[in-house]
């Protein structure tokens, strides 16, 4: 909960993304902040602007845990060349859900396509 004792923060919401110019041209949005996929409006805004996928957290996540889970997810995506869906599933198996808050990764794909990061990079314009 934000109070007067917290420092100022910069945050974006779905309206900000939707009203901003440009597009995300098949980018994969990996939002590792707390509650980054709590609701579906923010992922939907990125997808509507052309993102290929959006990955975020269902709720609050602990700092040490999110670092470990993010590294595991990136390894699966970039080194092991797993599909987005398989990488998210594997990350939720190991290291698993946040041990303190119980949050989990959620994935939004515009068409449910099973693609890897490598396939997105090699995609013709």
Has residue 3 been placed in a domain? no
- Judge whether 61 and 50 are in contact, CB under 8 Å: no
More confident residue, 9 or 60: 60
Has residue 82 been placed in a domain? yes
Q: In what order do the strands lie in the sheet with 28-30?
A: 28-30, 53-57, 105-108
Which structural domain range is residue 98 located in?
25-122
Has residue 16 been placed in a domain? no
Has residue 6 been placed in a domain? no
pLDDT reported for residue 19: 94
pLDDT tens-digit series, residues 26-69: 899 999 999 999 999 999 999 999 999 999 999 999 999 999 99
Has residue 20 been placed in a domain? no
Has residue 1 been placed in a domain? no
Has residue 5 been placed in a domain? no
Q: How many CB atoms lie within 10 A of CB 114?
A: 12
Has residue 2 been placed in a domain? no
Number of separate domains in the chain? 1
pLDDT tens-digit series, residues 73-119: 999 999 999 999 999 999 999 999 999 999 999 999 886 567 888 88
């Amino acid at each position: 909960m934000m109070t007067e004792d917290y420092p100022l923060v910069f945050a974006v919401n779905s309206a900000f993304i939707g009203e901003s110019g440009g597009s995300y041209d098949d980018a994969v949005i990996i939002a590792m902040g707390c509650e980054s996929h709590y609701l579906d409006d923010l992922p939907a805004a990125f997808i509507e602007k052309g993102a290929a996928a959006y990955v975020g957290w269902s709720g609050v996540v602990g700092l040490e845990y999110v670092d470990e889970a993010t590294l595991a997810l990136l390894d699966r995506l970039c080194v092991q060349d797993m599909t987005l869906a398989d990488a998210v599933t594997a990350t939720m198996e190991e290291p698993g859900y946040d041990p303190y808050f119980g949050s989990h990764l959620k994935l939004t794909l515009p068409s449910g396509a099973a693609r890897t990061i490598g396939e997105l990079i090699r995609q013709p314009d």
